[in-house]
Amino acid sequence: MDFRDDARLDGSQVESGGRGGFPRGGLAIGGGAAGVIALVLALIFGVNPGNITGGDPAPLGPASDLAAKCRSGQDADQNEECRVVGVVNSIQDYWPTVIQDYRPAKTVLFSGQVNTACGAADSSVGPFYCPADQRVYLDLSFFNDLQSRFGAKGGPFAQAYVIGHEYGHHVQNLLGTTDKVRGSQRGRLSASVRLELQADCYSGAWAKNAYETGLFEKPFSRQDIEEALSAASAVGDDSIQRRTQGRVDPDGFTHGTSAQRVQWFTTGYTSGDPRKCDTFAGGI
């Protein structure tokens, strides 16, 4: 993944520094920390379904955007936070070409704990999207875990895949697809699995079209895509269950198997067409 040196970044799409504690009554919002932490492994790239009706965005604590620091593609190539900015910019340049009334969503980079309109969360939940405040939450330390604990190859494009997946949830929220999932549905053919696999597919569709957003030097390489596939495979329900409970329980699936996650990212990537991402239609 190589940004064009002179590509201009919009740092205001990413906030950095949301950290530390649960400020101003955050525990009361959306079930609180215990509820969120209980979901730990259920939220590997999750969409947080709590309090979907919520109105007011939760206070985020001290946060600053990266506008001053991340100005060019060169910054994105040299700095991890700026690379996130570049990827988010590209994703949000792409989706308006597909969805007429796309509304941008911010990414919040946090460290440790963060307070959101979906409740307070800590890093253990992994990256997630909160529909109630329409923000993507990302603790960059997760990407180290992805390698060390989940056995993925890692690399910049593993990160890009995850960010693409989270913005897939934002698109689902805008399109009303998120409403199809109620409560904590689980199981091989559950709406939750279908929603998650569709987000993987949307990430692939962006990856295919990302070069057209003008931010990158060249289309993504085979090696880039392999980083995404390795990450998708590492976070399949079956792989995670095998690692954490020593056996596979399809009734507990929430995100799809490794093979399914790889397959749906690939469907999005090879077609470049989000309309091919209809995971709700039939067999998955």
Site for Zn ion, rule CB under 5 A: 45-46, 196, 199
Query: Residue 58 gets which letter from DSSP?
Result: P
Question: Tokens in use for 80?
Answer: 């991890």
Nearest approach, Cβ of residue 45 and Zn ion (Å): 4
Task: Between 196 and 237, name the residue whose CB sits nearer to Zn ion.
Answer: 196
Task: Between 26 and 46, name the residue whose CB sits nearer to Zn ion.
Answer: 46
Kindly report the length of the chain: 284
Nearest approach, Cβ of residue 236 and Zn ion (Å): 12
Task: Between 49 and 54, name the residue whose CB sits nearer to Zn ion.
Answer: 49
Task: Between 77 and 196, name the residue whose CB sits nearer to Zn ion.
Answer: 196
What is the per-residue DSSP string for 155-203?
Answer: SHHHHHHHHHHHHHHHHHHHHTGGGG--S---STT-HHHHHHHHHHHHH
CA atoms of 82 and 254, how far apart (whole Å): 31
- 3-state SS, residue 242: helix
CA atoms of 253 and 194, how far apart (whole Å): 11
Closest residue to Zn ion in the complex (CB) = 45
CA-based end-to-end distance of the chain: 30
CA atoms of 230 and 201, how far apart (whole Å): 15
Task: Between 93 and 196, name the residue whose CB sits nearer to Zn ion.
Answer: 196
Nearest approach, Cβ of residue 255 and Zn ion (Å): 7
Nearest approach, Cβ of residue 200 and Zn ion (Å): 8
Nearest approach, Cβ of residue 192 and Zn ion (Å): 9
